[in-house]
Structure 1
Amino acid sequence: MARLFFLLIALILTHSVAMVYFENLSWADALWLSVTTVTTVGYGDISATSWQGRLSTTLCLYILAISLLAQLAAEFFEYRLKKRDDKLRGNWIWSDMNKHLLIINTPAENSDAYLERLIGQMRATPKFAQLPLQILTRNYPKGLPRELSAHSVVHYNGGPEHAKSLAAVNVNQAAFIVILARDGSDPLSDSLTFDILSRIQDIGSSATILVECIADENRQRLQRAGADVVIRPIRAYPELLVRALATPGTEVVLENLFTHDESNLQRVDLDFSHILWKDIITVFMDNDFGIPLAYIDAEGVHSNPAALHSGSGSGIISMTRAGCTIPANTLRAAFARLQTAADATS
């Protein structure tokens, strides 16, 4: 297309020279005549009168230049249509994509629903709300679902096992990279994730990288390969992945709550009335009963209330160490002392 454009300019300039030479026009009038003629506007205010000028106009403009302009217009619109189709189908390379959040792979099952929730949570997180977001996957060769496109997401149709695809999505310029396990229950996915990490390191990237890991024994291996955050695949709660990416380290705390290895959540059933939340925390900490996270009353569960909140309820949920037991009688006695002290000062 560039060659046709320059050929068109050459024909316009050639015709302008002919008009200056044969019709004694000024350069401005000659160029005006050439442009208005080739664009088929044809104001008629200036025209060639000599046979040499008319012949030049016929050959340079009517026969050649106007045909070239039509061909250029057709190729331009064809290029625009192809570009739009390439973007839709994931064949377009977004060369200006940088400081973006890149998602590599899509789940083998229910990928549309999972990605919609995952990306929705990312857009709801201030740290990621304005970041360009791109997906590297082969799952959408005909285009992303409308629900994903609504979040201003683009994708590239390729596989991360090819360095060419990783280069196409600018992994070296990404701010965050999420590598999803292809199969959330198959340990073989860890090997594929390791291969992707190795290729990213070969290209070079300073991004914060989160990976899903199936087998716990592979965690350190993936970390040595370059993963900053390693989390178990929890397809029902993509919110956990987003929290871990936004604040690395929280994934360890959250995952420990699901096991009995380090931290446990315990519920203590006891009635209390009008006690400040900060005083409840103090009682638990002084007795090494963990950290209270929420209290329960007739309206439900209230997590992380304000320090000066005065609460009444029938139970407290606390995060404790593994093996810790919380005797309710000890708490009742401590709360009774708090209540007595409060009554004495009121």
Structure 2
Amino acid sequence: MNPYREKAGRPHRRAIYQTDWQLKKRIQRLFLILFSLLMLHVCAMVALEDMTVQQAMWLTLTTLTTVGYGDLSATTAAGQVATVVLMYITGITLVTLIFSDYVDYRFYRRERIRTGRWRWNMINHILLINAPKYGGTQYYMRLVQQLRANSDYKSTPIQILTTGFADSIPPELAELGVAHFHGSGTNLHDLSAVNVHEAKHIIILAKDSQDISSDSDTFDTLHRLSEFNLSNRCIVECVDDENRNRLAKLGAQSILRPVRTYPEIIIRALIAPGSEKVLEDLFTHENDHPHRYDVNIVDLTWSEVVCALIQSNLGTAMAYIDQENEVICNPIATDQINAKAIIVLVKTEETATDQGINDAISRYKQRMKQWNEMKAANKIA
């Protein structure tokens, strides 16, 4: 099937044979020929009609545009023949051809953009490779909106390379200023078409977050990029954790599990590299994860609670729950808290008990009391 064929199956009369570059070259060539004919007619009017250059140019332009004010005209037979041949037959015909080719070019360009086959030649852009199999439009909308919400990426060009949008990019994404190229990250020609060498960030999504075979496609894409020393710009999704080492050996900047409900994790990988690992761990019960402990904390500042847990190697306090069941995240260090529970980032294999947390806080309060008594005694002495 011809790639330039219209959706209804009828080929466009010229776009089917010519590329956009060929059409532009043809238009430029016609303009050059037209300009030469205009200059030739000006010279003919000066030589045959004894006009000034200004008069000859005025007559030429009014004749070409078919305005014909009548203030000037060719009177000699030779001048009239030159006008008919150069202007009416050749010049006006060329203008018609130029206009026709321009319309063809605009139609061709619009169709290529609509079907994702237009080369945008972007630089310093974010390249998104692959569209999620399910809910791709909604996922991309959230991802792009999160990017645009950050001042560093508010105006950064974004392009999607995927075979997922066969007919056209969804209008919701087009309205967000996202460009689309219909192709695959495993194809070198398609990677070249999206100007991958000039991309600021490259995000390779898993085609199907439920299918481990998606990692093969991801690996192939990353391998091709690594051949051009571009893998260090790549944030990659990996379905099967056993494949992480293979992707890491290719030099990927970050490797993440596909989390379709939270594209913000990828945003964090762009804005604050490394923070995505912390967020990813929060979604699992492996390694580091948040744990709730029921406690009774009064007359302590948040910084004292944090220090009590760290000194006892019990984890990092992240938030507390007050007596009204409100969760207070990342409190100010000097805030006096009245908590009935705290949320602590712990290691799975070293998770403490509620009693252990309470004991650590009690020991810390006792040390602080002794320290304050020592300070008071030293002042008295």
- Which sits farther off after the overlay, 331-340 or 254-263? 331-340
CA distance in 2, matches of 1:12, 1:18: 10
Q: Would you say 1:15 and 2:41 are equivalent positions?
A: yes
Counterpart of 1:84 in structure 2 is 110
Counterpart of 2:99 in structure 1 is 73
SS at match of 1:127: helix
Contact 1:296 1:316 in 2 (8 A): yes
Change (3 A) 1:264 1:4: closer
The residue type paired with residue 10 of structure 1 is S
Contact 1:88 1:143 in 2 (8 A): yes
Contact 1:135 1:154 in 2 (8 A): yes
Counterpart of 1:313 in structure 2 is 339
> If the length of structure 1 is used for normalisation, what is the TM-score?
0.91
SS at match of 1:181: coil
Q: 1:75: Cα distance to partner?
A: 1.4
The residue type paired with residue 333 of structure 1 is S
Q: 1:229: Cα distance to partner?
A: 0.4
Change (3 A) 1:207 1:147: farther
The residue type paired with residue 254 of structure 2 is V
SS at match of 1:119: helix
CA distance in 1, matches of 2:331, 2:175: 35
Q: Would you say 1:122 and 2:133 are equivalent positions?
A: no
Contact 2:321 2:340 in 1 (8 A): yes
CA distance in 2, matches of 1:290, 1:11: 84
Among 154, 159, 182, which residue is 1:157 paired with?
A: 182
Counterpart of 1:26 in structure 2 is 52
- Aligned Cα root-mean-square deviation (Å): 2.4
CA distance in 2, matches of 1:179, 1:195: 11
Q: 1:333: Cα distance to partner?
A: 2.4
CA distance in 1, matches of 2:114, 2:299: 59
Q: Would you say 1:142 and 2:167 are equivalent positions?
A: yes
Percent identity of equivalent pairs:
37
Please show how residues 282-293 of structure 1 align to structure 2 within 5 Å. 282-293=307-318
Counterpart of 1:330 in structure 2 is 359
Change (3 A) 1:9 1:206: farther
The residue type paired with residue 36 of structure 2 is A
Contact 2:232 2:253 in 1 (8 A): no
The residue type paired with residue 53 of structure 1 is G
Ranges in structure 1 where 5+ consecutive residues have no aligned partner: none
Contact 2:308 2:361 in 1 (8 A): no
SS at match of 2:155: coil
Contact 1:176 1:209 in 2 (8 A): yes
Change (3 A) 1:337 1:42: farther
Counterpart of 1:131 in structure 2 is 156
Q: 1:267: Cα distance to partner?
A: 1.0
Change (3 A) 1:15 1:65: same
Q: Would you say 1:180 and 2:232 are equivalent positions?
A: no
Q: Would you say 1:301 and 2:330 are equivalent positions?
A: no
Contact 2:139 2:263 in 1 (8 A): yes
CA distance in 2, matches of 1:146, 1:276: 52
Ranges in structure 2 where 5+ consecutive residues have no aligned partner: 1-26, 374-381
CA distance in 2, matches of 1:210, 1:103: 10
Please show how residues 185-204 of structure 1 align to structure 2 within 5 Å. 185-204=210-229
- Which sits farther off after the overlay, 42-51 or 18-27? 42-51
Change (3 A) 1:133 1:207: farther
> If the length of structure 2 is used for normalisation, what is the TM-score?
0.83
Change (3 A) 1:274 1:30: farther
SS at match of 2:297: strand
Counterpart of 1:100 in structure 2 is 125
Change (3 A) 1:206 1:240: closer
Contact 1:265 1:320 in 2 (8 A): yes
Q: Would you say 1:236 and 2:261 are equivalent positions?
A: yes
- Which sits farther off after the overlay, 198-207 or 103-112? 198-207
Counterpart of 1:210 in structure 2 is 235
Among 84, 89, 95, which residue is 1:58 paired with?
A: 84
